[in-house]
Structure 1
Amino acid sequence: METSNIFWNHVKRNRWAYLMGFALLSISSLLQLLIPWLLGQFTDKLQSSNLAYGETVSFALWMTAAGFGIAFFRSTSRIYLFRLARTLEMRVRGELFRHWEKLSAQYFNNQRIGDLMSHAISDVNVIREVTMQGYFNIMEAVLLIVISVIAMVTSVNPLLTLLTMLPLPLLSILAYRFNKRIQQQSADVQAAVSDLTSRVQEFTAGIRVVKAFVQEQEERGLFARDNQHAVDMNRRYVRSNSLFTSLSAGIIGFSFMMSVVLGGIMVLQNVITLGEFVAFNTYLSLLMGPIENLGKVVNLLQRGTASENRLLQIFRTQPEVVDDIAADQAINHIDGEIEIRNLTFAYPEADRPTLKDISLKVAKGSSLAIVGRVGSGKSTLVHLLVRLYNPPRGTVFIDGHDIHEVPLRTLRGQIGIVPQDQFLFSSTIRDNIGFDPHPYTDEQVIEASKVAQVYENIVEFPDQFDTALGERGISLSGGQRQRVSIARAIIKRPSILIFDDSLSAVDTITEDLILEGLKSVMNKRTTIIIGHRISSVQAADQILVMDEGQIVERGTHEQLLRRNGLYADMYHKQLLDQEAERQDGRDEEQLGRAKLLQGGAGA
């Protein structure tokens, strides 16, 4: 998408099609001017009592033919031009979506979903309306005004034409005065619609939380506030638009008054004939519609300019993560060797680094586990490995290549990741597991679900793998969403597998089953496991302990326990928690037996 002017770029791209539409509209406009001339001739003959029956029929037939011609060519030109507007709508919306796909994760961190939806729907619709109604009305107005004024000057009276047209330039002054106000108010309307859309989206996404915390009344209040704000912004826009339209109609009415008064005087003084007076006012009637439409077009153009500026701002936003100039497109496979050298990284909006002086090496086919407190930088490290954010050059290497040299398609296509936020699409379970450009067979989908220990849950649903999930997979439990996400990652058979705290929502028994099933998948694949439970990471070839963005300990499970540091402290605390859970279970079991014995004694 060219980022200078969406409208004119579209016109230039389709200039021959627009020329054809313009030609059809020109024929329609010329035919419209035939009717005033016929009426003038008819009136003069009627006044002079020199009108034969055959001439009356001839006038009627000519007017009927002109009417049918106007209808045919005008409707054909509208269909032609409106189709071009729909093409623009489809193209802009498609290019907007493709541009969003290119933008980095950081962009979406700073955007509201309601704003994005408003851009894709409301702003694009406004641009379509400008291209459809705006261009058509402008072309029709220009044609009719130019041709009508020429006809009025040459066939009626130049002075009468000049005096009648004199008030009309006031419309341009009026449009200029209302220009900025309407444009700003249109932007305010779109912003209010975005706020309202965001409010509805957040409410529907968080409906369970709203109900759990009994926040229905507060949510109604917030929605009512945003709803009222949208109404107020629309009222301001409607008031300005109505005032502009009313003043425009007043100016047009004044032109008609000038025509009737001055034209009537000229008829009485025999300067013009009665037929010329009728023809002149009919020409003027033809002009008034397009001129009045120009006022509406001005308002529409202001809305279109506001919407276009918002869309151009998006198109001008460049993705931060792209294939580097030095990227070797010949690299279409990675083996899985990872090396990080003295990596220090800070998010764009952060005032201090999230990762500090990280160095590690993961051999091809080996496993790395990362543990640490919340906020220690574990997930950030993973985000850099798949280049959701750009690491500094010379710090992250894949198979000996700087990660900036590896094409993004190869890098991300060869990495299977189970993110901390298990996002599922509102399609079927099969589609979510097989979410990949390459098609998968039903057998592969079933096998992946079995390895992820979710197969038994899926077959209990009435539609099994064809079960449609709700928004973000809300119809599944947290553990089921995690396991579907695991199946989605392992079905790719990638060179590098990353599990970002992906077993936190399953019980320890299911965790053991999943880890056992993953052994065959992890074999000869580089695997990175981020977790809080020691049980999920203790079998890794190498374990890193992170704290405040730094690696504070590293080694195997046994080595770290012997060091008696942070890892050992976490391990012993989890053992105590597990023992407490088991003790609670034994206490409940003993209490239940005691109640049974008491019941038997009472009997």
Structure 2
Amino acid sequence: MGSTRLLRDYVKANLGMYATGVFFIILSNVTQSFFPLVLGHLTDDLQQKTATLESIARYSLTLLGIGVTYGVLFGIGQYTNARLGRKFEYVTRQKLFRHFASLSEYYFSRHGVGRLLSYVMNDVTAVRESISNGVNQTTNAIFFILSAFVMMSLSSIPFSLIAGTLLPMATIPVIVVFLGPRIRKRSLEVQESLASMTESAEEQFGGIRVTKTFAAEEMASARFGASVDRIRQNQLALVRISSLFQTLLPFMGSLSMVLAVLIGGYMTLTKQISLGSFVSLTFYLRMMMTPLQQIGNVINMMQRSRASLERLNNLLAAAPDIRERPDAAELGPGGTDIQIRNLSFCYPGSDRCALEDINLSIKPGRTLGIVGRTGSGKTTLVKLLLRVYDPPAHTILIGGRDIRDVTLSSLRSQIAYIPQDGFLFSTTIRDNIAFSNREAMEDEMKQAARDAQIYSSITELPQGFDTKLGERGITLSGGQRQRASLARGFMKHAPILILDDSVSAVDAVTETSIVRQIRASHKDKTTLIIAHRISAVKHADEIIVLDEGHIVGRGTHQELLAQKGLYASLYSIQEEGTRHA
């Protein structure tokens, strides 16, 4: 039952509306079930020559009334259930996005974006169809068959004839029990292969420039083609078993019709039943063919929906790695001093620690520079500060509070983190810079752009701050994206500012201007600057040097040069490179 929890909860919350939709569909089927009965009475009147023009007109109006009433009632029920299906789609996609937002970076490192999108698109759509079209067709099929059976039983048709002709339909539950689980299994395989294809497509489109640069279009096409081929094979397997299922149900209905013609025809010739009863019987059976096909469609649909529900429920059951404690307090804007005590951290699944025995004290308003080789643990340190990953208890304190004891929102609201990649959204430059403060004044936003040394570049664009960027900010150069990201960070006005190699894509002159502006405009903030280029941190109040997760040096720029350690070596190499550039 766990796999259907998402659907059960939704239906339970909207039970009144579903009951209304189902009620109208039931009424429509009860109304429709009178059609063959009226037609049988007309046939008897015609055979007995008791029909008149007036009675024929009366029969015609009755049949028209039945048709119109059926159409109106069924339309209301279908519309009600379709609306509920669309509402489920909307609510579930919102729920999925909120759940995605609660998951940690570690989760996304193990699941591709394309695969996650397949949940939002393919799986939600499959379930939505089952609770709109599926409910409509199921209700229509079941209650028309029941109504038809009741009407036949209440008419002059012998029960033995009814039971005999409906005998083949009694095998339908056996067919469902045998083929249903197999359809669900194949449906799950199809959904998984669709997820893999979406993931592959997202990766191939994202790396299309690399593919073209290396003239590797054929290899990329072959790789994508393999994922498409897996979908084709899984879908063909599903089609084979679904086709068998949908063929067997109408076949059983056809057998019932054959029996009705043989037995009912004989009973009509021998005067055991009237011609009208024979017409009613065959008409009822003919009308049951459509519900039988609907049952086949619905069971196929429901099995696919069940597979999608299993995937969605498994996704929603994934617990965030980073959780707030029930009694978590708010981290106020007061203390911004950072204390790091005996911090050691290993990534999940790794037997080697990214950081070991880190001890730091950063006073409010001070600037800390962090340098080191690639993979030395610089970015890991700031991710722990932000609780992107959870540090051990009592190892990181801000304002005297363990960051594990405060709410995530209050912690992250106190930190403006500017990463190296400078990710921008595909909206306007204005919206990107004012991302954390949409109500910001125009002058405030422009000042942030000036501080990030991108104001002049923006004003040179035809639409200035209202220029719409392409996906991931592709309209701008790498250096411009970094500076726009800097401006966005400055706009947050958080008491702690973290630059994670955020000026690596700009030239040395622009870098110097940005760092100077940070020191002047953000001197009251606690600032951490991670950089590969020592020129970005040499004016910091203190610099630490990381190597393989350990602090191997600390001090001011001049003190570290005097120690002639790793810092001095990095500085010498960079200075040599600058002279030869």
Fold match (TM-score > 0.5): yes
Matched, 1:514 2:511: no
- 1:258 paired with 2:259, answer yes
The offset of 1:521, in angstroms, is 2.6
Structure 2 distance, partners of 1:10, 1:254, is 40
Residue 191 of structure 1: how far off its partner (Å)? 2.0
- Hey, what does 2:74 align to over in structure 1? 74
| SS of match in other structure, 1:60 | helix
1:432-467 CA-partner distances (Å, limit 9, x unpaired): 111115521221111111110111111121111111
Match of 2:550 in 1: 550
Alignment-derived partner of residue 417 in structure 1: 417
Question: Which range moves more in the overlay, 381-390 or 191-200?
Answer: 191-200
* Contact kept? 1:336, 1:495, Cα under 8 Å: yes
- Cα 1:11–1:326, aligned 2, differ >3 Å: closer, same or farther? closer
Task: Tell me what 1:161 maps to.
Answer: 162
Task: Name the SS of the counterpart of 1:270 in structure 2.
Answer: coil
> What letter matches 1:557 in structure 2?
H
> 2:144 and 2:437 mapped to 1: Cα distance?
54
In 1, the alpha carbon distance for the partners of 2:460 and 2:113 equals 34
Shift of 1:409: 1.1
| Cα deviation 1:360-391 (Å, max 9, x = unaligned) | 11001101111111001100000010111111
- In the alignment, which residue of structure 2 is the partner of 1:17? 17
Other-structure match for 1:175: 176
Indicate the residue corresponding to 1:186 in structure 2: 187
Deviations 1:209-238 (A, max 9, x none): 111111112112222222222222222222
1 CA distance for matches of 2:281 and 2:270?
16
Measured in 1, the distance between the counterparts of 2:186 and 2:518 equals: 58
Q: Tell which deviates more after alignment, 380-389 or 26-35.
A: 26-35
Q: Does 1:221 align with 2:222?
A: yes
Matched with 1:587 is none
In 1, the alpha carbon distance for the partners of 2:92 and 2:402 equals: 36
**Residue matched to 2:355:** 355
Q: Hey, what does 1:593 align to over in structure 2?
A: none
Question: How far apart, in 2, do the equivalents of 1:342 and 1:169 lie?
Answer: 73
Output one character per residue of 1:486-508: Cα deviation in whole Å (capped at 9) or x when no partner: 11101111100000011111111
Contact residue 431 and residue 438 of structure 2 kept, 8 A: no
Answer yes or no: is the 8 Å Cα contact 2:482–2:503 preserved in 1. Answer: yes
Using the alignment, how far apart are the partners of 2:367 and 2:407 within structure 1?
Answer: 24
Q: Which residue is 1:592 aligned to?
A: none
Tell me which amino acid in the other structure corresponds to 2:276.
Answer: G
Aligned to 2:8: 8
Distance 2:546 2:170 in 1: 73
Which whole-Å CA distance do the structure 2 matches of 1:334 and 1:325 have between them? 23
> Which amino acid is 2:307 matched to?
A
For the 8 Å contact 2:4–2:310, the answer to whether it is kept is: no
- Residue 64 of structure 1 aligns with which residue? 64
Whole-Å separation in 2 of the counterparts to 1:444 and 1:437: 10
Q: Is the 8 A contact 2:416 2:498 kept in 1?
A: yes
* Counterpart position of 2:208: 207
* SS of residue paired to 2:33: helix
Residue in structure 2 matched with residue 322 of structure 1 by the alignment:
323
Instruction: Show CA shifts across 1:486-534 (max 9, x none).
Output: 1110111110000001111111111111112212232110000001111
The corresponding residue for 1:231 is 232
Listed as ranges, the matches of 1:279-298 within 5 Å are: 279-298=280-299
The alignment of Structure 1 onto Structure 2 pairs a total of residues equal to: 579
Q: Distance in 1 between matches of 2:571 and 2:16?
A: 74
- Map of 1:446 onto structure 2: 446
SS of 2:544 mapped into structure 1: strand
1:310–1:338 Cα change, 3 Å: same
Partner residue of 1:96? 96
Give the secondary-structure state (helix, strand or coil) at the position aligned to 1:344: strand
User: What amino acid is the match of 1:520?
Assistant: A
SS of the equivalent of 1:225 reads helix
What amino acid is the match of 1:100? F
Taking structure 2 as the reference length, the TM-score comes to 0.97
Query: SS of 2:341's equivalent?
Result: strand
- For 1:486, the aligned partner's letter is L
Partner of 2:393: 393
C-alpha contact (below 8 Å) 2:343/2:359 kept by paired residues? yes
**Most deviating of 354-363 and 568-577:** 568-577
Aligned partner of 2:336 in structure 1 is: 336
Instruction: Show the counterpart of 1:269.
Output: 270
Q: Deviations over 1:542-581 (max 9, x none)?
A: 1111111111111111111111111111111212111222
Cα distance 1:3–1:241, how it changes in 2: closer, same or farther (>3 A)?
Answer: closer
In structure 2, C-alpha distance between the alignment counterparts of 1:349 and 1:471, rounded to whole Å: 33
User: 1:598 matched to which residue of 2?
Assistant: none
| Per-residue Cα deviation, 1:156-209 (whole angstroms, up to 9, x for no partner) | 111011111111122222222222221122122222222222222122211221
Matching of residues 456-535 of structure 1 within 5 Å? 456-535=456-535
For residue 548 of structure 2, what is the amino acid of its counterpart?
E
CA contact (8 A) 1:196 1:227 kept: yes
Structure 2 spans left out of the alignment, 5+ residues: none
For residues 3 and 249 of structure 1, what CA distance do their matches in structure 2 show?
A: 30
* Deviation at residue 135 of structure 1 after TM alignment: 1.1
Percent of counterpart pairs with the same letter? Answer: 38
Distance 2:167 2:4 in 1: 36
Shift of 1:334: 4.4
Alpha-carbon separation, structure 2, partners of 1:416 and 1:518: 13
Equivalent position amino acid for 1:217 in 2: E
Cα deviation, 1:263-294, whole Å, max 9, x if unaligned, reads 11111222211111111112222222112211
1:469-496 C-alpha deviation (Å, 9 max, x unpaired): 1111122111111111111101111100
Asked if 1 retains the 8 angstrom alpha-carbon contact of 2:250 and 2:289, the reply is: no
CA distance in 2, matches of 1:241, 1:3: 22
Per the alignment, residue 597 of structure 1 pairs with: none
The one-letter code of the counterpart of 2:258 is: M
Unaligned 5+ segments in structure 1 are 582-603
SS of structure 1 residue aligned to 2:23: helix
Name 1:596's counterpart in structure 2: none
Indicate the SS of the match to 1:5.
helix
Contact 1:335/1:495 (<8 A) preserved: no
Q: What are the superposed Cα offsets for residues 99-156 of structure 1, whole Å, 9 maximum, x if unpaired?
A: 1111111111111111111100110000110001111111122211222112222311
> 2: distance between equivalents of 1:66 and 1:575?
92
Measured on the aligned residues, the alpha-carbon RMSD in Å equals 1.4
- Equivalent pair of 1:167/1:254 in contact (CA under 8 Å): yes
- Confirm whether residue 242 of structure 1 aligns to residue 238 of structure 2: no
CA-CA distance at 1:90 after TM superposition: 0.8
Q: 1:110/1:268 Cα in 2 relative to 1: closer, same or farther (>3 Å)? A: same
Whether contact under 8 Å (1:542, 1:554) holds in the other structure is yes
**Within 1, Cα distance between the matches of 2:484 and 2:298?**
52
Q: Secondary structure at the match of 1:276?
A: helix
Q: CA deviation at 1:431?
A: 0.9
What is the Cα deviation at residue 419 of structure 1? 0.8
Give the alignment's TM-score, normalised by structure 1.
Answer: 0.94
Greater displacement, 184-193 / 394-403? 184-193
Amino acid in the other structure paired with 1:376: S
Aligned to 1:27: 27
CA distance in 2, matches of 1:295, 1:220: 37
Runs of 4+ in 1 over 3 A off after TM superposition: none
**1:7, distance to aligned residue in structure 2 (A):** 2.2
Deviation at 1:4, TM superposition (A): 5.2
Question: Match for 2:446: what amino acid?
Answer: I
- Cα distance in structure 2, aligned partners of 1:217 and 1:502: 36
Letter in 1 for 2:239: V
CA contact (8 A) 1:479 1:505 kept: yes
* Residue 332 of structure 1, CA deviation: 3.5
Letter in 1 for 2:114: G
> Any conservation in 2 of the 1:334–1:398 contact (CA below 8 Å)?
no
Residue-by-residue CA offset, 1:408-430 (whole Å, 9 max, x unaligned)? 11111111111122211111111
